[in-house]
Amino acid sequence: MAQQLQQGLFLALAGVAVVAALGVIFNRNAVHSALSLLANFVALAMLYVLLNAQFIAIVQVAVYAGAIVVLFLFVVMLLGAGGEMQMGGWLNWRTAFIVAAALVLLTLTGTAVFEGTINGAIGTATPEQIAQVGQTEAVGTALFTDYLLPFELASVLLLVGMLGAVVLGQRWRGAIAGRPSGEAE
């Protein structure tokens, strides 16, 4: 029973994810594309839950659905969503490149799926162990012991990005004369 339920849920969610992914590409309205992306992320998060990875699922919702798509929406809404860029016919270098890249990707994916050679490195943890310590604890322990250096480096990288954004914003603000810097929102 649980098995069948899981399979049915998987098929339904995978269907939603694929349809939403197609929606991202084929929608002519950028806001609708962003919404499709949101639906895709949520469906993916539920697939993670089916795989017993609740922590990853929650992070997927919080980071991708909760933060990144909101930023996409802001950018699209504030910079004008309506205008779709016209490329003048479909037969040009751009389309050719996209088709070539898609074919390469398709070949790679096909090989991987049918040869069955893509397997990530398998760790030592078993589902029972993880259930015992808790998922968040397991991820946290891994991050702060085995992967401490990459983790800290990534945080420095994020800090650099943030500082860069602040510096760029300040330079732009200096161009607006006579505006006290503490006053803007």
Partner 1 sequence: MDWISLLLVPAIKSLVVVVALLTGFAYLSYVERKLVARFQVRYGPNRAGPFGILQPISDALKMVFKEEIVPLNVDHVVYLLSPALTVMPALVIWAVIPVSGASFTLFGQTITPYVSDVNVGLLYILAIASLATYGIVLAGWSSNNKYSLLGALRTSSQMLSYELPMGITLVSVLLIAGSLSLVDIVQAQRGVWFALLQPIGFIIYFICGLAEAGRSPFDLPETENELVSGFATEYGGIKFALFFMGEYIHMITISALATTFFLGGWYGPFVNQIPVLGLVYFLIKVAFMIFLIVWIRASLPRIRYDKLMHFCWKFLLPLSLLNLVVTAVVLVLVG
Which positions lie near partner 1, rule CB under 8 A?
1-2, 5, 29, 31-32, 35, 38, 54-55, 58-59, 61-62, 65-67, 70, 73-74, 77-78, 81, 134-136, 183, 185
Q: How far is the CB of 18 from partner 1 (least distance, A)?
A: 20
Q: How far is the CB of 40 from partner 1 (least distance, A)?
A: 14
Q: Judged by CB, which is closer to partner 1: 52, or 92?
A: 52
Output the 3-class SS for the chain.
CHHHHHHHHHHHHHHHHHHHHHHHHHCCCHHHHHHHHHHHHHHHHHHHHHCCCHHHHHHHHHHHHHHHHHHHHHHHHHCCCCCCCCCCCCCCHHHHHHHHHHHHHHHHHHHHHHHCCCCCCCCCCCHHHHHHHCHHHHHHHHHHCCCHHHHHHHHHHHHHHHHHHHHHHHHHHHCCCCCCCCCCC
Q: Judged by CB, which is closer to partner 1: 1, or 87?
A: 1
Q: Judged by CB, which is closer to partner 1: 115, or 183?
A: 183
Q: How far is the CB of 79 from partner 1 (least distance, A)?
A: 13
Q: Judged by CB, which is closer to partner 1: 88, or 180?
A: 180
Q: How far is the CB of 174 from partner 1 (least distance, A)?
A: 20
